[in-house]
């Protein structure tokens, strides 16, 4: 699952969010986000680091891996620059 959010104003302002539960072509997602937009992935814990590395090679800014409620690496966050 991935979610992508674009913010044009401070966090108190409305956002545009795209959520999907299937595979989305990343180049399309990157084009849909404004600078500062956030791309979030929920992924298999075995692939979180690889997902972050893939996003880094695709030009997303500082992909970060976040743990789930069990402390497992489950989520990857990246910012469009």
pLDDT in tens, the chain (81 residues): 455 554 444 444 445 555 555 555 666 666 777 888 888 888 999 999 999 998 888 888 889 999 999 999 999 998 887
pTM of the predicted model, to two decimals?
A: 0.68
Tokens 């539960």, residue located: 21
| pLDDT tens sequence across 12-33 | 444 555 555 555 566 666 677 7
- Which of 30, 24, 18, 25 minimizes the C-alpha distance to 60? 30
Tokens 């990246």, residue located: 78
């Amino acid at each position: 699952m991935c979610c992508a959010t674009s913010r044009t104003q401070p966090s108190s302002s409305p956002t545009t969010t795209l959520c999907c539960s299937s595979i989305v072509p990343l180049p399309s997602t990157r084009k849909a986000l404004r600078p500062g937009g956030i791309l979030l992935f929920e992924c298999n814990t075995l692939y979180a680091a690889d997902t972050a590395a893939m996003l880094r090679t695709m030009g997303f800014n500082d992909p970060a891996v976040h743990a789930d409620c069990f402390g497992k690496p489950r989520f990857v966050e990246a910012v469009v620059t």
